[in-house]
Amino acid sequence: MSQDKEILLEIKNLKTYFRTSQGEIRAVDGINLTLSRGETLGIIGESGCGKTVTSLSIMRLIKPPSGRIAGGQVIFQGKNLLDLPEQAMQKVRGNNIGMIFQEPMTSLNPVFRIGEQIMETLITHRMLSRAEARERTLDIMSKVGIPSPQIRIDEYPHQMSGGMKQRAMIGMAIACNPQVLIADEPTTALDVTMQAQIINLLYQLQQEMGMSILLITHDLGVIAEMAHQVAVMYASRVVEQATVEELFRQPLHPYTIGLFHSLPCLGGRGRRLEAIQGQVPNPLNFPPGCKFWPRCSLADQRCRQEEPDLVQIDSNRWVACWRVSKAGGDRIKGLPCSSSRDDGKEGKVIISLQEDSQGQQKDGQLALVEGERLDDRGSALIGSGPYSPARSFEKIIEVRNLRKFFPIRRGFWRRTKAVVKAVDGLSLSINHGQTLGLVGESGCGKTTVGRLILRLMEPTSGDVLFKGTSLYSLKGEALRKIRQKMQIIFQDPYSSLNPRLTVGNIVGEALTAHGIARGRERRALVENLFAKVGLSPSYINRYPHEFSGGQRQRIGIARALALSPEFIVCDEAVSALDVSIQAQIINLLQKLQEEMNLSYLFIAHNLAVVEHISHKIAIMYLGQIVEQMPADKLVKIAAHPYTLALLSSNPVTDPSLRGRQPPLSGDVPSPINLPPGCRFYPRCPRAEKRCREENPELLEREKDHWVRCWLC
C-alpha cells in the first residue's frame, strides 16, 4: 500500500558509530527505511537496539567527537541531509522536521516559560515578531489540547503535569507545520490514560496536518494504534519490516515473534509468558553471524556464522533471517494477544482484517523452514491460577481502614493550610501464597500504601495486621523479627542498588544485620540466592553498574528473598524494564511464588501486567479503592467507570481498532482539594447529581466483587 505513495524521507544504509575507550560501538549499522507522506513509520525494539540513535542521526544531533555518522544517506525532499552545511541543517530542524522526546519532565528547559519555548521556534524559523509569535503560540496550545492557554503560556514546566508537558513538547515540535515529526517514545513516561490521550492527539494532528510521523517505541500497542509501516530493530539493524497489518497478523522474524509472546495481554491470563531468553547483546561484542542467534531457539550452524541480509519476501515484507523463506512449510500460528478477547485460548490466528482473504493466500507462501513451531514451547498453566476463596486458608496481610494524611504548612507560623489525603480509609487483605494487584494512575497513593504496609511510614490512623498481629503495636525486637518476613522490590533497578557495594554485599547485608549468617556461611547463602533468581553465583563480587537492567532487578529480588520472607511488596517492579526482560522477571516472580509460597502486593500501572500476575485486583483512585475483584474476571465484570476507562486506555495490539476516543480526559486531580462527592465524578462520563454530593461506599456487588459507585 505504500509503493504508490510519495516518499518523503529515505534512509539509505545509515551507519552511526560511537568511539569508546573499549572500542567502537556500531549503534546503527547499515539500515534502510522509507517514510511516505502522511504515513507513520514505527520503529520498535528494545533499549540499546539503535532506535534513538537512528532518529538523532536523521536530525544530525549525534555528538562529536565520540559519535559520528560513518556512512549512508538521509534523503529528505531530494536533498541528502548528511551533506548539508550546518546552517542549512538548522533550518531543517524544527522547521521541516520536528521532534518530541520521551521524557517530558527533562526535555523542557526548567528556567524558561512554556510559551517562550514554543515561541522561540516560530521566531527562529518564521521570523515572526514576539507579539505575532505569542498569538500563534496560543493557537498551537489550544490545538494540542492545553486548557486555558492564556494562563498556561506564562507558566513554567514544573507547574504542569507530565501529560501537559508532553502536549507542550508536541506543540513546540509542530509549531512550524513540519512535514515530518519524529516521536521518540512519546508516551513511555506517561500513565495509560495519558498515553491514550497523547496517541489520540498525535493521530488527530496527523489527520489534520497530513504530516508523516517516525514513531519510535518499545510498545507494540502504541505501534498498533499509530503506525502504517513497522520496522523491527534488533542490535543496530532492522530485522523485519512490514505493514502494520501484515506484522500483527503474522510476525516472521523469531525476535518479532518473541516480542509478541513476551507481552501480557488483557484477558489472556494463565498463560506463561514466553520470554525471549537472555538479553540484547552488548554492542561492543556482538556475536558473529546473526546477532539474534544466542537468543533464538531456531538457530542453526549457518545462523552462527553468517549474518543474514534484510530480504524482501513479499510485496510488503522484508525479513533478515536464514530460517524464514518463501518456501512452503508450517506457519507459525497464534499470537497471544488477540483482539477477540473472549477466547483466551492458545494458538489462535489473529485479527480479522478487511483484506483477509487476500492476505490468507499470501500467507501460504510464507513459512518457517523445517516447520518448527514456536508456539509449541511450554505454555502450560503456571503461577497465577484462578482466584478461589476456598484455596485461601488465611490472610497474611490485612489492612484496616488505613489513612495517611500529609499536612501542608504555609506562612510564618507554619500553620496547616491543607491536607493531602494520600490514603483515605483503605482496607484490603492478601491471602497466603497469592498476589494482590494494586492499580491506578500515578499520584493515586499506591506507593504510599506499599510503604505503610511495611511500616516504612507511620499512618495517620488505621492498622495493618500481619498474620493477625498488629504491626503498629510492635516495637524493638518483635518488630525486627516481623520485618524479616516482609520485603520490598523497587521500581528503578538503577537507583535502588548502592553503587559502592558489591552485589554480594547488597544481597547478604540483611543476613548479617539480622544475625542469620556471616562469612563463609553467608557467602554460600548468597550464592544460593543468586542461583535461585537466575544469576551466576560467580557474579557476587561485581558492582551494580556491571549489570543490565534486568539483571539488576534480579539482584533486587535476591536481596528481597535473602531473609526468606513470606510477603513481598513489588512496587512497579517490572515497569522500567524492556518487554522481553519484563516477561522474564514476571515469570521469575511467579516461579518463586510457587516454590516458596510467597504472597505479593503487586503495585503497577499496567493493567495487563497486573491482570497477568495477580489473583485479586484492587483499583485505586485518589487514596481510595474504587473496585476490587478476582483477576480472572477483570475483563468480564469490571463495572466502575474508572476501571473501564483504564481497561480501554490500555493500548490494544490490534491495528484495526485505531483512532478510538481516549476514554478519560484530563489529569488525576490534586489530592489537596478533593471534590466533595465521589472523587471520580469530575472525570466520570456518567456522573449524576448524586455523585457530586456524596462519596459512595465500597459495596460488595456480587461475591468477591466490590465497587464504589452509585451507578453500579
Partner 1 sequence: MFSFWAKSLVEKLITLFFISIISFSVVMLAPGDPSEIDPLNPKFTQEDIQRLRKAFDLDKPLPVQYYLFYKKLFTNELRSYKDNQPVLKKITERFLNSLPLFLVGTLLTWCLAFPLGIQAALRRQSLFDRSTTFFSYFFISLPSFFLAYVLIIFIVKVFNVPVIGLQTFGRESVSWWYLINDRIWHLVLPSVLSAIGGIAILSRYVRSQMLEVIEQDYVRTALAKGLPPDTVYYKHALRNALLPFVTMFGLTLPGLIGGSVIIESIFSWPGMGRLGYDAILARDYPLILSLNFIAACLVLVGTFISDLLYMVVDPRISLISESKG
Least distance to partner 1, CB of residue 93, Å = 4
Q: Pairing mode, if any, of strands 705-707 and 212-217?
A: unpaired
Q: Considering only residues 142-161, where is the footprint of partner 1 by CB under 8 A?
A: 156, 158-159
Would you call 630 helix, strand, or coil by DSSP?
strand
If one asks whether residue 127 binds partner 1 (CB under 8 A), the answer comes out as no
If one asks whether residue 101 binds partner 1 (CB under 8 A), the answer comes out as yes
Closer to partner 1 by Cβ: residue 125 or 143: 125
Q: Pairing mode, if any, of strands 317-319 and 237-243?
A: antiparallel
Q: Which stretch binds partner 1 (CB under 8 A): 97-105, 236-244, 248-256, 325-333?
A: 97-105
Q: Which stretch binds partner 1 (CB under 8 A): 87-95, 219-227, 266-274, 456-464?
A: 87-95
- For residue 546, list its beta bridge partners: none
Would you call 28 helix, strand, or coil by DSSP?
strand
If one asks whether residue 137 binds partner 1 (CB under 8 A), the answer comes out as no
Q: Which stretch binds partner 1 (CB under 8 A): 103-111, 231-239, 361-369, 594-602?
A: 103-111
Q: What distance, in Å, lies between the first and last C-alpha atoms of the chain?
A: 46
Least distance to partner 1, CB of residue 124, Å = 6
Q: Which three cell numbers stand for residue 228?
A: 502504517
* CA separation for the pair 382, 527 (Å, rounded): 26
Q: In this chain, which of 65, 78, 468, 515 binds partner 1, going by CB under 8 A?
A: 65
Would you call 590 helix, strand, or coil by DSSP?
helix
Closer to partner 1 by Cβ: residue 109 or 512: 109
Number of helices and strands (H, E) in the chain? 23, 26
Q: Which stretch binds partner 1 (CB under 8 A): 31-39, 88-96, 474-482, 518-526?
A: 88-96
Closer to partner 1 by Cβ: residue 112 or 129: 112
Q: Total binding residues for partner 1 by CB under 8 A?
A: 36
φ and ψ at residue 91, rounded to 5 degrees = -75, -25
Least distance to partner 1, CB of residue 104, Å = 9
Residues 615 and 384: beta-carbon distance below 8 Å: yes
What track of x and - describes contact with partner 1 for positions 15 through 54 (by CB under 8 A)? ----------------------------------------
Residue among 447, 470, 455, 457 nearest 400 (CA): 470
If one asks whether residue 95 binds partner 1 (CB under 8 A), the answer comes out as yes
Q: Considering only residues 516-555, where is the footprint of partner 1 by CB under 8 A?
A: none
Closer to partner 1 by Cβ: residue 155 or 509: 155
Q: Considering only residues 167-226, where is the footprint of partner 1 by CB under 8 A?
A: 169, 172-173
Residues 462 and 453: beta-carbon distance below 8 Å: no
Residues 570 and 602: beta-carbon distance below 8 Å: yes
* CA separation for the pair 603, 621 (Å, rounded): 13
Residue found under cell 485460548: 345
* CA separation for the pair 630, 616 (Å, rounded): 4
* CA separation for the pair 205, 419 (Å, rounded): 40
Q: In this chain, which of 32, 73, 90, 460 binds partner 1, going by CB under 8 A?
A: 90
Q: In this chain, which of 151, 408, 479, 524 binds partner 1, going by CB under 8 A?
A: 408
If one asks whether residue 59 binds partner 1 (CB under 8 A), the answer comes out as yes
Least distance to partner 1, CB of residue 65, Å = 6
* CA separation for the pair 590, 380 (Å, rounded): 13
Task: Write the DSSP string, 499-526.
Answer: TTS-HHHHHHHHHHHTTS--HHHHHHHH
CA 17 from centre of chain: 28
Q: Pairing mode, if any, of strands 212-217 and 40-44?
A: parallel
If one asks whether residue 103 binds partner 1 (CB under 8 A), the answer comes out as yes
Residue among 27, 26, 58, 28 nearest 41 (CA): 58
Q: Considering only residues 159-178, where is the footprint of partner 1 by CB under 8 A?
A: 159, 169, 172-173
Q: Which stretch binds partner 1 (CB under 8 A): 98-106, 348-356, 532-540, 631-639?
A: 98-106
Closer to partner 1 by Cβ: residue 312 or 670: 670
* CA separation for the pair 137, 118 (Å, rounded): 6
Q: In this chain, which of 131, 148, 364, 412 binds partner 1, going by CB under 8 A?
A: 412
Q: Which stretch binds partner 1 (CB under 8 A): 322-330, 411-419, 576-584, 617-625?
A: 411-419
Residue among 617, 621, 623, 657 nearest 638 (CA): 617
Within the chain, what is the greatest distance between any pair of CA atoms? 81
Q: What share of the chain is helix, strand, coil (3-state, %, to 5)?
A: 35, 25, 40
Q: In this chain, which of 411, 468, 476, 519 binds partner 1, going by CB under 8 A?
A: 411
Least distance to partner 1, CB of residue 223, Å = 23
Closer to partner 1 by Cβ: residue 79 or 409: 409
Q: In this chain, which of 80, 106, 312, 673 binds partner 1, going by CB under 8 A?
A: 106
Closer to partner 1 by Cβ: residue 2 or 90: 90
Q: Which stretch binds partner 1 (CB under 8 A): 108-116, 312-320, 455-463, 632-640?
A: 108-116
Residue among 85, 56, 84, 81 nearest 68 (CA): 56
Q: In this chain, which of 32, 47, 73, 124 binds partner 1, going by CB under 8 A?
A: 124
Q: Which three cell numbers stand for residue 133?
A: 509569535
If one asks whether residue 312 binds partner 1 (CB under 8 A), the answer comes out as no
Q: Which three cell numbers stand for residue 514?
A: 539480622
Least distance to partner 1, CB of residue 122, Å = 10
Would you call 88 helix, strand, or coil by DSSP?
helix
State the residues that interact with partner 1 by CB under 8 A. Answer: 59, 61, 65, 90-95, 98-99, 101, 103, 106-112, 120-121, 124-125, 156, 158-159, 169, 172-173, 408-412, 414
